[in-house]
Structures are given as structure tokens and as C-alpha cells.
Structure 1
Amino acid sequence: MNARAKTPAPGEAEPVSTPITAAAGPAPAAKKPGGRRRLLLMVSVPVLLAAVGGYFWLTGGRYIDTDNAYVQQPKVSISADVSGRIVSVAVTDNQMVKAGDVLFGIDPEPYRIALSQADAALAAARVNVEQLRVALSTASAKLTAAQQTLDIRQKEWDRKSSLQTQGLAAEASLDDVRLALQAAQSSVALEQQDVASATAALGGNPEIKTDDHPAVLAALAAQQNAARNLAKTTVIAPSDGIVSQVGSLNVGQFIATGSTIATLVETGNIWVEGNFKETQLGGLAAGMPAEITVDAFPGIKFKGHVDSIGAATGAEFALIPAQNATGNWVKVVQRIPVRVVVDDANSEPLRAGMSAVVSVDTKAEVAQAH
């Protein structure tokens, strides 16, 4: 049923008519709080992208880097110059040593005896030279006497010959004088040979110094060699570094001459061998500055410079070089070793074999290109 409106009875409330108000218009829109920030981002992001893009455009190709790099240090093989039995060991494995520090000692007694023998041989050689001087003086004196005798025999011969020519002496009286003259001449000739022999024994120089004589020089060289061998029984470090692989070096062990028994890694000379791709070599040159990071010391950057570029790839120096002339050959980018010297490596204990990353700055070539 539909409701029907009826007239209110007396005493009932009168219906209240509500005035119709005008329709309200749309409320003003509130400002969004992120508008200014959005505007700032819209302006700054393109500027930042442009700056980054410009930086990469300007520096594109300036830095050439490789992570195929390793720290290198000179490694000296320690060996003995003389053979013998070890009597003392003064170092332990991985010990830091200075140049001249004693590493180990070899029994010196056999070499001390050899030095004494060499000293005696040197003294005997010097005595022999003095004896040769005396022999030369004796031969010279005999030669002088023979020459004086020859002069007398020659005068006697001349006098007898003159008398015989004048008919005052018989021919037979000249025979004895002739024989005496010939004997004196022969004696002079023999004494001259003795003098020549004694002079030759003195090296052809009668005034030669004793220590300049060949026999003395030979004995002196033998004595110096014996002294050197005695000194070499004490093995010292050739340079500063860390000695390693000495675990098998024991007292009582016999070692032969030249056998390697330890290794010394020199800490004063450090470089990094970076294996750059052959396609990167066009922008590399000796003297370029480089930046080196080592995996063992993250966050630390070492300064260096390119020292030299390898003459060939590592495969070319292999015992059995790779043979690429095959039917199913696949081209592989080769790598060339580049020696990068570390300029400030004293601050951190770098060790040979550590992995490194090398970045070479080719700014000079980039500046020329632009």
C-alpha cells in the first residue's frame, strides 16, 4: 500500500519546511606535497645522466685494465759454492734476513788445510824465484870470467901468430895456442847459453819482481782460490728478503757444489705481471702510470708504472708450444705479459703470487686523440 499524506490533527506538530540552499561548488584542490620534489628530480636526473655520459665519453678508452695479474718478486736459489757437510744452520723457514746475514755453515777444516798447503806452495814459488836470481848471477859471473879468459887467449894467439909470420916461431908452436883460444871461445858460448837460460827462467826479465813471476802468480792464484773456498764455507744472504724452503737443511747433511737447498725471495724489488689481451696492447706504452689493487688488501691502491711489454705470449716460451695450425682451429684472444713496477709497495707486505688487478692510465694518448 502506498502511504497517503494526511492533514495533521489539531495539536500535532506542524511540518517544518527546510529552506533549499544553493548547491555548493567544487572545493579547491589541495597542493600535493611531492610536487616540488618531483620537479627537482625531473631536472636533476637528466643533468646527472648527461654528466655521467659526458664523463664516460671523455674518458672512454683511457683506462686499460686486467684482472689476470699477479705479484712477482725475484727468487734467488741458494746453493753452496763448495761441497761439504753442514755444521750449523742459522735460519728458519720464512725468516726475514738482511744482505750478509749467515744462513748456514759447511765444515771448514778440509778447506783450511787446503789453504795451508796453498800458502806453503806460494812460499816455495817465491823461494824458487830467488834461486833463479842467484843462478842468473852465477851464470853472469861465469860468463864474465870466460870472456876474460878469451881475451887473454886471443892476445896470446895474436902474439904467437905475429912471431910465426915473422919467422921467429915454428908453425907447430901455434897448435897449443890455437886449441886454448878455441876452448875459451867455446866456454864463452856455453856461459852465454847459461845466462840466457837463467834469464828465460825469470820470465825474460832479470829485473822482474818476485810476485810478478809466472810461477808465483800461479801459486798466488791457487792460494787465493783456497782462501775463497774457505770463506765460502759460510753461506750468507746475497740480499734482503725472506728465506724459505729450508726445512730439509739439517746439521750433518752433506751437500754438493751448486745444489739448490733454499730459496730467497727478495722483498726490495716488486712488480706485477699483468697479462693483457692482445687487443689492448695498442694503447699501452712503457712509462704509463698504473693503479694496482691486490685481493689480499681490499681498498688499498698501489701506484706503479708500465716498465716493459713482453716480447711474446706465454705459450711461446712453453716447453711444448701450442700448435694452432689445425683444421678445426678456433681463434682465441692471446695475452701478452706486461711488467708493471710497483712504486710504493713498502707500506704493505706484498708476496709473490698474489692476485692483483692492474689499471693503466693512457691519458696522454687520449689527450692527443681529443
Structure 2
Amino acid sequence: MNMAVDEPQTAAAPATRLNSKRRLIGLGGGVLAIAALAVGAYWVSIGRYLEETDDAYVRADWIAISPKVAGYVAEVLVDDNQRVSAGTALVRIEDRDYQARLQQAQARRNAAQAAIAAQQAALVTLDAQLKEQQALIDQAAADVASAQAERQRAQLDYQRYRDLAAQQAASSQRLESVTADFARARSALSRAEAAASRQRTRLGVLQASHAQAAAQLQQQQARAAEADASLALAEHQQEDTLIRAPIDGMVGQRRVRQRQYVTPGLPLLALVPVEQSYVVANFKETQLRRMRPGQPVEVRVDSFPDARLHGRVESVSPGSGAIFALLPPDNATGNFTKIVQRFPVKIALDADARRQVPILPGMSVIAEADTRGQDEAQRHGQ
């Protein structure tokens, strides 16, 4: 009885297991189909628009700090890798010689100003003399007019008494007296005219002296302007002995040391604006077809692989890296091998990116740009 019951159960077990395998295979196939559809949908809607490159680095427009004047370094006021603000004193050069030159320039300026004051006083004196001379000329003209009137009167008396003497109506003594008066009147007129001429000549001399003094004043003013320029240069040189930071940043490559002799243009240290760093990603030319400024970029820094930073495409280089190389390739000679070129793309990081991780220039990153247009992003729900 028991044998009859157990035989059907044993025969049904393989069929059950086969059905289970079929169901698992079907379920797995469905999952794979759904996954394939999801991957395909992602690729069609988003993935094909994402352009990625690992040829990307953090960059910053750092500044090499150099002196404008020569001299011995009196003091180095910053340490390696120190953060500084714009205007912070970095290096101080001994300024004894420049102080002496500044005092010398100030003395020359004072002398030039004193010469101008003296020349202006001379012009004031000459102006007064010209006014006085004009008054003397007017007085001489009045004397000439008076002498002419006296001469006219004496001449009329002479003519009248001459006629009377000829008619025996006047004495010869009276005629001689009138003749003498007439001669004195003519002499007085000549003296008055000579005096007037002398005063006019004196006026010309004073006018020439005034013009010469005015020219000398202009010369003194030019020398004063030159002295002012020399003083300004001396002040600038004295101020340049204290080298200050032009921007905010971190000190790097500090080569300057105390008591070192430095010359203009010698690199002393580097100032790196870490807070203004950006990413330069070298994309292949085949990845630039849809890339435009303003598109979003996801940045992953090799030093912090778990961090996901965001930024925007700021600009694309006007030429490939090979074009700006020291020795650009000339593909018109020799055998030609086509190589995909890379173009630097500047990526500006969002403001909160630097608060997530400490980003430093030179770090390697992976940049992934979303090259979808605005209408495509809106169509896909972003």
C-alpha cells in the first residue's frame, strides 16, 4: 500500500524542479530585458550627451612676485604656504639709499620752488617799474606839450618884436630879450622831446626785461616740474622697497632669504589665488560637437574620489594644445599619421565646491560635461 502511494510522488519531483528553473530563467530574462531597456533609455536620453575625460587638472592664475628695485633683503615677512590678503607686506628691502635719494629729490624740489618764488617776485618788481615808467612817459609827454606851447609863445613874441623893431616901434634890447627867450624855448622843447624819447626807450628795456623774466619763470617752472617728477620717482622707489601682495592667495615657491641681494625682475616667491582656482579639461575634438559655454559639469577629484563637485563650462580654447606648443607639428611634411587632437576647456567651479573639499592647483580630476541643450534637458525632466 505504501509503495503504491510513493511512486507517483517521486515521479512528480523532477517536473516541479524543471518548472522552477523555467520560471527563474524567465524572471532573469525579464530582469535583463528591463535592465537593458533602462540602460538603453538612459543612453538615449542622457548617456550619449555626457562627455568625460580624465585629462583634466586644477589650475590657478598664480603670480610671480618680483621686486622693482635692487637691494639687500632686510626682512622676509611671510612663511611658506601662508595665506595672505591683498596688501599684506611680503618682503622688505633695505631703504637707506632710497631714503637719501628721496631727501635729495625733496631738496631739489624746494630749491626749484624757491627759484620760482624769486622769479615771481622779480616779475612783480618789473610790473611795478613798468607802471612807474608809463607814468614817467606820460609826464614827459606833458613836458613836451608844455615846451611846445612855450616855444610857440616865444616864437610869436619874436616875430612880433622883430616886426616892431624893423618899424622902429620897439627897442633892439627888447628884441634881443625876446630872441633869447625864443632860443631857450626851442632848447627846452628839444630837452623835453629827448627826455620823452629816453623814457620810451626805458620802457622798451623794461618790457624786454619783463619778457626775459617771464621766460626764466617758465624755465624755473619746468625745472620744478622735473624736480616734482624726480621726487615722485624717489617716493615710488622708496615705497617699492616694501613688497606687498597684489591679491589674496597662498605663498608658494618662497626662494627669497634675508640678506639676499635682489634685482628687478628676480622671482622671489609665488602667490597662488587658491580661492579662484578652476579646472582645465582637455577633451578630444570628437567630444566638442555639442559642447557650449554654460553647460553643467561634474568634477571628481582624484584626491577625494567620493566628492562630487559641480561647475560650468566657461570657454573653449581657440586652438588645440598642439597649436600652442613650442614646436607645433607640421603635418605637410613626411609621413602623415592622423591623431585625435585635444582642446583645453575651462571649467568654472561652483562657489560651494571649495567648501566641500580643499581644492589645490595641480590636482588631477575627472570631468564629465552634460552637453545637452536647454530644450533637451527640459524635455527629459531636468
TM-score normalised to the size of structure 2? 0.80
Structure 1 residue 86 corresponds to structure 2 residue 61? no
Q: What 5-or-longer segments of structure 1 have no aligned partner?
A: 1-20, 205-209
Residue by residue over 1:112-170, the C-alpha shift from the partner in whole angstroms, topping out at 9 and shown as x without a partner, is 11121222222222222221221111001111111111111112222323444562644
Q: Which amino acid aligns with 2:309?
A: F
> In the aligned structure 1, how far is the partner of 2:20 from the partner of 2:366?
45
What is the distance in 1 between the residues matched to 2:288 and 2:151?
108
Structure 2 residue matching 1:41: 3-state secondary structure? helix
Determine if contact 1:270/1:345 at 8 Å carries over to the other structure. no
Cα distance change of structure 1 residues 40 and 61 upon mapping to structure 2, 3 Å threshold: closer
How far did 1:22 drift?
A: 8.7
2:12 match: 29
Correspondence for 1:245: 253
**Would the aligned equivalents of 1:82 and 1:229 in 2 still touch at CA under 8 Å?**
yes
Deviation at 1:265, TM superposition (A): 1.5
Instruction: Give the alignment of 1:167-246 within 5 angstroms.
Output: 167=155, 169-170=182-183, 171=186, 173-203=188-218, 214-246=222-254
2:369 pairs with 1:360: yes
Partner of 1:5: none
Is 1:255 aligned to 2:262, yes or no? yes
Identify which of 285, 304, 320 aligns with 1:297: 304
- Give the direction of change, closer, same or farther, for the CA distance of 1:300–1:160 in structure 2 (3 Å limit): same
Does structure 2 conserve the Cα–Cα contact (< 8 Å) formed by 1:277 and 1:336?
A: yes
Counterpart amino acid of 1:232? D
**One-letter identity of the residue aligned with 1:230:** Q
Structure 2 residue 133 is the aligned partner of structure 1 residue 150: no
Kept after mapping to 2: 8 A contact 1:69/1:273:
yes
Matched-pair identity in %:
32
Contact 1:307/1:339 (8 A) holds in 2: yes
1:106 aligns with 2:90: no
Normalization by structure 1: what TM-score? 0.83
Asked if the contact 1:286/1:309 (under 8 Å) is kept, the reply is yes
Instruction: Check conservation: 1:96, 1:242, Cα contact below 8 A.
Output: yes
- The question of whether the paired residues in 1 share the 8 Å contact of 2:290 and 2:372 is answered with no
> Which 10-residue stretch deviates more, 345-354 or 131-140?
345-354
1 CA distance for matches of 2:338 and 2:36? 38
1:37 shift after superposition: 4.3
Moved more, 192-201 or 69-78: 192-201
* C-alpha distance in structure 2 between counterparts of 1:242 and 1:342, whole Å: 19
Conserved? CA contact 2:300–2:365, under 8 Å: yes
Provide the C-alpha distance between the structure 1 equivalents of 2:328 and 2:7, rounded to a whole number of angstroms. Answer: 91
Please report the RMSD computed on the Cα atoms of aligned residues, expressed in angstroms: 2.8
Between Structure 1 and Structure 2, how many residues are aligned?
Answer: 342
Paired position in structure 2 for 1:311: 318
2:83 aligned with 1:96, yes or no? yes
Q: Distance in 1 between matches of 2:287 and 2:31?
A: 36
Q: CA deviation at 1:73?
A: 0.7
Q: Which has the higher helix share?
A: 2
1:14 match:
none
Amino acid at match of 2:345: V
2:358 pairs, out of 336, 349, 353, with: 349
The alpha carbon displacement at 1:299 in A equals 1.7
CA distance in 1, matches of 2:147, 2:301: 110
For residues 5 and 316 of structure 2, the distance between their equivalents in structure 1, rounded to whole angstroms, comes to 88
Determine if contact 1:62/1:362 at 8 Å carries over to the other structure: yes
Alpha-carbon distance in 2 for matches of 1:100, 1:23: 100
Task: State the one-letter code of the partner of 2:12.
Answer: A
Question: Residue 133 in 1 paired to residue 148 in 2?
Answer: no
* Cα drift, residue 269 of structure 1: 0.9
Within 1, Cα distance between the matches of 2:110 and 2:124?
22
Matched residue type, 1:89: V
Q: Is the 8 A contact 1:63 1:361 kept in 2?
A: yes
1:332 corresponds to: 339
Task: Return the alpha-carbon distance in structure 1 between the equivalents of residues 41 and 353 of structure 2.
Answer: 34
| CA contact 2:274–2:361 (8 Å) conserved in 1 | no
Equivalent pair of 1:80/1:235 in contact (CA under 8 Å): yes
How far apart in 2 are the matches of 1:259 and 1:310?
31
* Separation in 2, partners of 1:79, 1:338: 30
Q: Which residue of 1 aligns with 2:175?
A: none
Separation (CA, whole Å) in 1 of partners of 2:7 and 2:238: 117
Q: Structure 1, residues 236-256: CA drift from partner, whole Å, max 9, x if none?
A: 222222222224x22221111
Report the Cα offset of residue 109 of structure 1: 0.8
Q: Distance in 1 between matches of 2:47 and 2:359?
A: 31
8 Å CA contact 1:62, 1:361 repeated in 2: yes
- In the alignment, the residues of structure 2 paired with residue 151 and residue 219 of structure 1 have an alpha-carbon distance, to the nearest angstrom, of 44
**Whole-angstrom distance in 2 between the partners of 1:188 and 1:328:** 94
Q: Alpha carbons of 1:216 and 1:47: their partners in 2 closer, same or farther (altered >3 Å)?
A: same
1:278-335 deviations in Å (ceiling 9; x for gaps): 2222211111111111212112121111111111122222233221112411111111
- The code of the aligned residue for 2:261 comes to F
Q: Quick check: 2:119–2:216 contact (8 Å CA) kept in 1?
A: yes
Q: Report what 2:159 is aligned to.
A: none
Q: Distance in 1 between matches of 2:96 and 2:334?
A: 67
Q: How much has 1:226 moved relative to structure 2?
A: 1.8
Deviations 1:198-252 (A, max 9, x none): 4455559xxxxx9xx55444333332322222121111222222222224x2222
